[in-house]
């Protein structure tokens, strides 16, 4: 079992839809969770960074962590065609190591 599981998609939604992206992880000791957005042929861009359980909101983006279920989510409200990208969840495991999910490809249709 991989330490971080993420459905690679692709996920296609109409403009204005609410998007839900999810990852599960295996180690209950993990505490730092991140979401990155990666456009084609570009470096991953840090979107959200959360510690422990709960919600964190930044504009149209909300990151949610449920440590009891070992489940993390990223919600995008009022999705735009410019949100079309690959979204990677990432977990900092301590020390110097971060584990990335496989990334979910999102397409937002105008």
- Residues binding other proteins (CB under 8 A): 32, 34, 36, 41-46, 49, 88, 90, 92, 94-103
Measure the CA–CA gap between 40 and 93, rounded to whole angstroms. Answer: 27
| Residue closer to other proteins, measured from CB, 42 or 77 | 42
The whole-angstrom separation of Cα 21 and Cα 17 is 13
Q: Which is nearer to other proteins, 21 or 88 (CB)?
A: 88
Q: How far is the CB of 89 from other proteins (least distance, A)?
A: 10
Q: Distance (Å, rounded) from C-alpha 5 to C-alpha 89?
A: 9
């Amino acid at each position: 079992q991989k330490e971080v599981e993420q459905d690679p998609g692709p996920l296609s939604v109409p403009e204005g839809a609410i998007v839900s992206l999810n990852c599960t992880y295996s180690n209950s000791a993990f505490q730092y969770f991140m979401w990155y957005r990666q456009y084609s042929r570009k470096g991953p861009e840090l979107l959200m960074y959360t510690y422990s359980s709960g919600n964190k909101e930044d504009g149209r983006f909300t990151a949610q962590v449920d440590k009891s279920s070992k489940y993390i989510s990223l919600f995008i409200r009022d999705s735009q065609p410019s949100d079309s990208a690959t979204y990677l969840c990432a977990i900092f495991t301590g020390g110097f190591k971060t584990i990335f999910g496989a990334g979910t490809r999102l397409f937002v249709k105008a």
